[in-house]
Amino acid sequence: MLIARSLAELREGCVRLRAQAGALALVPTMGALHAGHGSLVERCRKENDVAVVSIFVNPTQFNDPADLNRYPRTIEADLRYLETLGVDDVFFPTQSEMYPHGYRFRIEPHTGTPIMEGAYRPGFLSGVMTVVLKLLNIVQADRAYFGEKDYQQLRTVREMAEDFFVPTEIVGCATVREKTGLAASSRNALLPPEISGKAPALFRALTEGASCEETRAVLVQEGFRVDYVEEYWERRFAAAFLGNVRLIDNVPLRQTRRK
């Protein structure tokens, strides 16, 4: 498994591997890998000849510096995990490698009324689109894999790639859940033991609530501080804090008790 810290190293590795095989695909991550990332990599390996995974905690998508600082970083464990999954290349760049001139240029979403993550995390979608476009240009992947837990992000990236004529196919993959229903997330590791047992209530509220209002009320009763519960694209979405950890999730409306 090649570990590339620079664009030059990654490009050299990708050219070599593509020459030996065929389709090359990318799984962009911010590290702190879990079973959800593993499922993306496994599907990537199944559908392509070469699997590239990027690990980069992208500072431009964090509107809260404290949130950026406490985001879990487990690079040694991540590399061991990726090796067991048969990844070919890992791109692990520095901030200066990805933003050599600072945040000089960025992609902004359309000027309509922002919703959900766009409303509650100013700059988040711009930071995601900008770094993903950089990664797609660097890797020149045939496909790139994203999880449906971050469904708004997935839609935004797909629309960005379409509007900028990026030839990479953006592939969405189903959310991986624990037996309790809790969506796999790097942020789960930040939950203190004394409150982590309440986290599965987010999924239960999303699926068992008959409406957004009922879902919000259940979450508040369970001790969450709710940012939003909203419905778009035939799905119900929620973002809420448990302690100081912000969790997000979404489910198709057909899986809810919506009346």
Q: Which helix (H) or strand (E) holds 182?
A: none
Q: Is 157's pLDDT higher than 70?
A: yes
Residue 145: per-residue pLDDT: 98
Structurally, at CATH architecture level, domain 186-250 sits in: 2-Layer Sandwich (3.30)
Residue 22: per-residue pLDDT: 79
Q: Which helix (H) or strand (E) holds 89?
A: strand 89-91
Q: Is the Cβ–Cβ distance between 5 and 32 less than 8 Å?
A: no
**Which tokens hold the place of 124?**
């988040």
In this prediction, residues 90-102 reach a mean pLDDT of 93
Q: Check residue 207 and give left, alpha or beta (phi > 0: left; psi -120 to 50: alpha).
A: alpha
**Which tokens hold the place of 143?**
């496909």
Q: Is 109's pLDDT higher than 90?
A: no
Alpha-carbon torsion, ordered 173, 174, 175, 176, to 10 deg: -100
Residue 115 Cα to chain centre, angstroms: 18
Global model pTM greater than 0.85: yes
Options 34, 37, 101, 110, the catalytic residue: 37
Q: Is the Cβ–Cβ distance between 238 and 222 less than 8 Å?
A: no
Residue 259: per-residue pLDDT: 64
Helix, strand, coil distribution of the chain in percent, nearest 5: 45, 20, 35
* Band (192; pLDDT cuts 50, 70, 90): very high
Structurally, at CATH architecture level, domain 2-173 sits in: 3-Layer(aba) Sandwich (3.40)
Q: Is 113's pLDDT higher than 90?
A: no
Q: What is the pLDDT of residues 22-73, one digit of tens each?
A: 789 999 999 999 999 999 999 999 999 999 999 999 999 998 888 889 888 9
Q: Which residues contact 225 (CB under 8 A, 6 or more apart)?
A: 240, 241
**2-173 with 186-250: one CATH topology?**
no
In a 3-state reduction of DSSP, which class is residue 19? helix
Q: Is 240's pLDDT higher than 80?
A: yes
Residue 12: per-residue pLDDT: 78
* Band (183; pLDDT cuts 50, 70, 90): very high
Residue 224 Cα to chain centre, angstroms: 22
Residue ranges covered by each domain of the chain: 2-173, 186-250
Distance CA 57, CA 94 (A): 9
Closest Cα partner for 28 from 165, 145, 159, 185?
A: 145
**Which tokens hold the place of 139?**
């890797």
Percentage above 90 pLDDT, the chain: 81
Distance CA 115, CA 134 (A): 25
Write phi, then psi, for 201 (nearest 5 degrees). Answer: -65, -20
In this prediction, residues 175-195 reach a mean pLDDT of 94
Told to judge if 110 belongs to the known catalytic residues of this protein, a careful annotator would answer: no
In this prediction, residues 129-148 reach a mean pLDDT of 95
Percentage above 70 pLDDT, the chain: 98
**Which tokens hold the place of 33?**
């890998």
Q: Is 233's pLDDT higher than 90?
A: yes
